[in-house]
Amino acid sequence: MSDITVDVKDLNVKFGDAHIIHDVSFRVKKGEIIGLFGISGAGKTTIIRVLTCQIKKKDWTGYVEVESLTPAKKKNHSEILSKIGYVPQLELLNLYYELSALVNIETFASNYAIPRKKAKKIGQELFSILDIPEDTWKNPVKKMSGGEKKRVSMAIGLIHNPGVLFLDEPTTGVDANKRYDILNYLKKLNRQLGTTMFIITHDLEAALVCDKTAILREGKLLEFDTPHNLISSLPSNGLLARLTIEDLNEDKVEIIRNFEYCEKVSRAGNDIVEVFLKDFEDNLIHLLDYLLKHDLNITAMSRDVANFRRYFQIRILEEEEREIRALQKKESLKGVEME
């Protein structure tokens, strides 16, 4: 398919006896922003290393294609690398701090045989899109703020107009109040340049700018869909009741969990729970009656829609519980066989 820029099917990665990636499959269309989410060890970086030709073919199986080329063939590596860009987590890995932002651009552009004059023009255009103040362009990078350094790093990753840009933890090292600025700049670049982007991150807020989100756990792809579709798969399309309950403890949470129409309960604070109901609109009033009958003192209540963070937490917990049940069943069958 001509609009598919990254195609992965049944990817498995093994290093010796260690099975790192298990049967991962997904397709990415040109111009999409993809978020790869998961805790450390989930497999995010390993998948990207396959896509960027960093893992030898002997260590992985399956079908992988990037920009219509497969990294399975070593002869394709240089061409694939010429069509992709990479922005590391730490700017010091791809920035010369003693040089100016423009000289950094010119230096890295030379790796792609881009003439200095053309590189300078491209750099200025990218700096303008990224709102990097013009009076900083000729100053040493070390004098820039953390957010400005991050944006210069992005510009370097885009200097050769790659079809796919990989960004490793783009909001790491940036002040909390600047994280959304970085994400918005990525969206701005995506819209203006049409660049396909992979965001590899622990920052669940990055889902706000993603067209698709991949949730990984222990090398397995649990979900790959739009944030909206994933949230809508929750009971009542993600509608929830957020309740503040006096002296909330696990016994009281269990009482809520035992409500007839309760689908899921998540603690969201010391005294706060989020409750998902079957047929939310019909059963919310019944939930309140039920809690009052069980002497649970509700001090505050609001109605809301789950965000991606809540969906992620629920989905990971579901997988952990599924694995525990599977292990318990296996141990039970082993016990029966021994008898």
Domain ranges of the chain: 4-230, 235-305
Exposure string of 272-304, with b = 16+ CB inside 10 Å and e = fewer, is bbbbbbeebeebbeebeebbeeeebeeeeeeee
Q: What percent of the chain has pLDDT over 70?
A: 97
Contact 253, 263 (CB under 8 A): no
Exposure string of 45-75, with b = 16+ CB inside 10 Å and e = fewer, is bbbbbbbbbebeeebbebebbbbebebeeee
Q: Give pTM, 2 decimals.
A: 0.89
Mean pLDDT in residue range 206-221? 96
Mean pLDDT in residue range 250-262? 96
Mean pLDDT in residue range 16-40? 96
CATH class of 235-305: alpha beta
Q: How far is CA 140 from the centre of its chain?
A: 32
Given this model, what pLDDT does residue 329 score?
79
Given this model, what pLDDT does residue 337 score?
62
Given this model, what pLDDT does residue 90 score?
72
- The answer, yes or no, to whether residue 276 has pLDDT greater than 90, is yes
| Residue that the structure tokens 């503040």 belong to | 244
Residue type, 268: A
Given this model, what pLDDT does residue 330 score?
78
> CA-to-CA distance for 45 and 303, rounded, in angstroms?
37
> CA-to-CA distance for 303 and 309, rounded, in angstroms?
17
- The answer, yes or no, to whether residue 1 has pLDDT greater than 60, is no
> CA-to-CA distance for 306 and 15, rounded, in angstroms?
38
Q: Which superfamily, per CATH, for 4-230?
A: P-loop containing nucleotide triphosphate hydrolases (3.40.50.300)
Residue type, 299: T
Two structure tokens written together for 43: 């497999």
Given this model, what pLDDT does residue 181 score?
87
